[in-house]
Structure 1
Amino acid sequence: MNHEGRKHAVLSASAAHRWLMCPPSARLEEQFPDTASESAAEGTLAHELAEIKVRHYFYTVDFGRQKYTRRLNKLKKEALWQDEMDRYTNEYLDYIKQTALSLESAPYAVIEMRVDYSAYVPDGFGTADCILISGETLHVIDFKYGKGVMVSAEENAQLSLYALGAYEAYKMLYPIKHIRMSIVQPRLDNISEWEYTVEALLKWGEYVRERAALAWKGEGDYAPGTDTCRFCRAKARCRARSDHNVKKAFDIGELPPLISAVEAGKRLAELEDVVKYQKDLQEWALSECLAGGDVPGWKAVEGRGSRDWTDMDKAFEMLQEQGVDRAMLWEERPLTLAQVEKVVGKKEFNGLVGDMVVKRPGKPALVRSSDKRPAITNKVSAAEAFAPSGVDQ
């Protein structure tokens, strides 16, 4: 499949978490160009690599070694190719292999399937990375190459829409009763799984139908928030988000001399998007000024510049000819642990020096209570406080 040429629905599955929460945002976004970042282009390339690996595994006869190798060599010539893509897509393939082999019977596999969920969402369609059907179970598997945000499969709107579309396509052929959804995000060591019944999926579909009808017409209430606005193209100029953040920043009421832990937690949540909104607004204002527009009170200027060699080798050669010792021009530094692992390869690294690596605890960070990581505290438990020290008192 030509991943670059993928079409996207107005109410796309990938943005469903947004237009379900904030229906008017879908039409508001149409006023802004969909500019792809370099990380998005990397993700597209990684998806193409993942696709040919899964296709070669399930359909070796039609997509044999020669065809696979030809496609692989072509991808390796892409400017954004990185060798680590091979390892990360292998992890995705391994998960699919293990899943398929764990089933009671060989699954029917569909790769890069265009799913139609227009029975619930006007003109709704999307592309599912991998769908496996075995017995009474429909399994939707999604490959995420990004490493900025960890994605959970639990109640995931994108995968649920894919499941709705796949169910509509295959319900007459298979006695589907169970839905499984998986997200494989290898760059964050994240494999997330969730499952529920077809009845629950169809009930959710009715909720989607109502929200999608509002979104299609650009109606409903705006619902700005950190997660909702993160990837919205209108996030910098959205009045609802602007008013929402200004209110949070300046209209939080009279401050008492001291605030409680309950109040602190509430205000942390309320102010979470303020800084992000300011950054988004600054980026838009800068682009507007650079394009010749006028943002009263602001202008674009050239930032602090930097110097660089026109020919470093020649410059160093001239310095050495004038008596400057080479050792004064160069310094030897070891690669970081992560860089060594990348150069050597993860498997060989673990085999050779894995037992010489210790993982030190990271600096404490404040996160939402919904975060999957276990909570830590400096508070000493009674068992620790009264544990025998081995020293006579």
Structure 2
Amino acid sequence: MGHEERSHALLSASGAHRWLSCTPSARLEEQFPDTTSEAAKEGTLAHELAEMKVRNHFYTTAFGKRKLTAGINALKKNELWRDEMMGYTDIYLDYIKSVSLALKNPPYVTIEKQVDISKYVPEGFGTADCILISGNTLHVIDFKYGKSPDGRVEAEENPQLSLYALGAYEAYKVLYHIEEIKISIVQPRLSDGISEWGCTLEELLTFGRYVYAKAELAIKGEGEFAPGPKTCKYCRARGRCRARAEENVRLAFSPDKDKLPPLISNEQLGVYLNQGMDVAKWLSDLQDCALAECLAGQEVPGWKAVEGRGSRVWSDMDEAFSKLTENGISETVLWERKPLTLAQIEKVVGKKDFETFVGDKVVKAPGKPALVKESDKRPAITNIVSAKDAFKEDI
């Protein structure tokens, strides 16, 4: 099955984090088209490459080197292809190989397995990237291509992967005596992009019973709306949802009834940041929605679509430069020479040669301080100099 041709159930496993929290959202989303982004298309391309590499590793006879090479060459014709995808998908493959080699017995392996989860979710199904079964352990491994630290996906109690595990258990419970569940997520474009979690079969089945109750509400469009930054982030109804609008108006504009000091405390600062996380994004989504309506010829009272500020461009740069040089303007004035960035040079040279030739000339510059949620895995930093650093002797 091609990754772009994957079907999506109303209550999809990939959207489970949303409809489990906000059960009416699934039916609400049906009124809006399912669109995709360039980042999502790039991820799909990387998934196809990852699948071929894993298939070649485990099924060398059926999918040998010749097929792998032909498949990669076909993917390279895609305009979104990047050579760096080879290295990132190798990280995913290496992880699967390391898990497989650590097992006491060679595992049963299935790749891009469509699993039926209809026992727990009406008409539900999903596609698991890789499933390994060895002894009494079922291991579900998922490949994510996102590169934003804010988009790091945790394996612990992950609803999408837990649903895949439930579907895999139902498919193979007759053949294997499964007692333990392991879930892994590999995000190779993040420095800490491997997340692992495990649970017992009974814990997974308990989750299944919870899902069943929520899915019964969601399939009918019933239950309580639960707007929030994570819940609403990819919801197709996010720009029109009344529950989200009312919640953000409450958070942003509700006046304080009691007389308060003129300055807020650190405690209140943290509270307001938490409360306002979704407000700016909500306003941006409202603007996108209103612009689309205006461009479609619909009236949004108080607003209209206009042409943004344009910029001058050459109609024919080569001809323009030629005329300039003919009139005595030196080419050195017309062109700016500047080095490629480190990342661009690494891409041109290749990771292996780059590391061999100039790897020792690369240092990691500290990043600009950023404010993140306390749950972020990165260590906290401060500008406070410790006593040890302040009084340490020069060596």
Farther off after superposition, 87-96 or 209-218: 87-96
The structural deviation recorded for 1:388 is: 4.6
2:197 pairs, out of 182, 194, 209, with 194
> Equivalents in 1 of 2:135, 2:255: separation in Å?
55
Q: Could you tell me which residue of structure 1 aligns to residue 52 of structure 2?
A: 52
Q: Could you tell me which residue of structure 1 aligns to residue 261 of structure 2?
A: 256
Change (3 A) 1:389 1:81: closer
> Equivalents in 2 of 1:13, 1:252: separation in Å?
40
Q: Could you tell me which residue of structure 1 aligns to residue 371 of structure 2?
A: 366
Q: Normalization by structure 2: what TM-score? A: 0.95
Contact 2:23–2:225 (Cα < 8 Å) also in 1? yes
Change (3 A) 1:372 1:388: closer
RMSD value over aligned CA atoms?
A: 1.5
For the pair 1:222 / 2:225, whether they are aligned, the reply is yes
Farther off after superposition, 62-71 or 151-160: 62-71
Contact 2:83–2:347 (Cα < 8 Å) also in 1? no
The structural deviation recorded for 1:66 is: 2.4
Q: Could you tell me which residue of structure 2 aligns to residue 304 of structure 1?
A: 309
The structural deviation recorded for 1:364 is: 1.2
For the pair 1:239 / 2:242, whether they are aligned, the reply is yes
Q: Any stretches of 5+ residues in structure 1 without a counterpart?
A: none
> Equivalents in 2 of 1:76, 1:353: separation in Å?
27
> Equivalents in 1 of 2:74, 2:361: separation in Å?
38
Change (3 A) 1:252 1:200: farther
Trace 1:1-393 onto structure 2 (pairs within 5 A). Answer: 1-148=1-148, 149-189=151-191, 190-254=193-257, 255-385=260-390, 387-389=391-393
The structural deviation recorded for 1:390 is: 6.0
The structural deviation recorded for 1:131 is: 0.5
Cα deviation, 1:6-52, whole Å, max 9, x if unaligned, reads 11111001000000110000110000000111221111121111111
Change (3 A) 1:390 1:39: closer
Q: Normalization by structure 1: what TM-score? A: 0.96
Runs of 4 or more, structure 1, over 6 Å off, are none
Farther off after superposition, 167-176 or 106-115: 167-176
> Equivalents in 1 of 2:74, 2:343: separation in Å?
28
Change (3 A) 1:360 1:70: closer
> Equivalents in 2 of 1:63, 1:356: separation in Å?
40
AA at the equivalent of 2:71 = R
SS at match of 1:331: coil
AA at the equivalent of 1:215 = A
AA at the equivalent of 2:41 = A
Give the share of equivalent positions with the same residue, in percent.
65
> Equivalents in 2 of 1:62, 1:276: separation in Å?
48
Change (3 A) 1:382 1:79: closer
Farther off after superposition, 334-343 or 127-136: 334-343
